[in-house]
Amino acid sequence: MPAVDARRHAALGVSVLHGHPLLAAGILAMLADPAVDDAPLALAAAVGQPVLVTDYQQAMRQPHDVPVLVVEGGLTVYKVRSLLQVGTQGCISAEGSAGELLRAVAALRSGGNYFCPTVTGLLADAVMPAVLTRGEQRVLELLCQGLDNKTIAGHLQIAVGTVKTHVKAMLAKTETRTRTALVARSIRCGWVTAEAPLQVRPIMPPPRCRLPTATLR
């Protein structure tokens, strides 16, 4: 379990509870740096509420009584969606600037929300250009597991030609040219999740029944 750096900037009303010590130290340094333009933060601090700055794991672990700002590297659609589902008020990339950190804290201090361009870009890209049918979705899920058309057809008990038709339709709907590009975009955009791969079991032929033999007399 990573070390957690829990400190509080009382004057600013900001708590830092982060599982990455170096990031925690950098966040604290940015909040205390007088060279950073802190006008929006100071304005919000006058009438604002406390804010907790934390990481993805801490934000998902338990509910918090104060607005939560997540500072995280390697953000994905899956992570962003999970944070929104638990009511996280703000999220910025760990690669962001000190100014962005202060703007985010100021927004949450004043009762608002803040999501950096990386987060909003992920959410925008995650919007599927067209709705897939149930059949197309099932084929896509198996396609993202690296299965070929014949194996997908056997698992879903449909014709290989039907699988090809679904793939062709999905390429057109998602504006991708190849199966590889379709799979890559599907995982990146969260249309299917790579966190919990499907357990694909081979379709076994039914057991042969031994018919009783009639005895001629």
Do 119 and 92 contact (CB within 8 A), yes or no? Answer: yes
Q: What domains can be seen in the chain, in order of their start residue?
A: 5-125 (3.40.50.2300), 134-188 (1.10.10.10)
pTM of this structure: 0.63
Q: What is the pLDDT of residue 35?
A: 62
Query: How far is Cα 167 from Cα 112, in angstroms, rounded to an integer?
Result: 42
Q: What is the pLDDT of residue 191?
A: 78
Q: What is the pLDDT of residue 73?
A: 92
Q: What is the pLDDT of residue 204?
A: 39
Q: What is the pLDDT of residue 128?
A: 67
Average confidence (pLDDT) per 10 residues, the chain, 217 residues: 56 83 89 63 62 94 88 89 91 92 90 93 75 90 93 95 96 91 84 53 43 50
Q: Minimal CA–CA distance to 13: which of 116, 111, 97, 114?
A: 111
Q: What is the distance between the terminal CA atoms of the chain, rounded to a whole angstrom?
A: 79
Do 119 and 78 contact (CB within 8 A), yes or no? Answer: no
The 3-state DSSP class for residue 107 equals helix
Label residue 175 left, alpha or beta by phi (over 0 means left) and psi (-120 to 50 means alpha): left
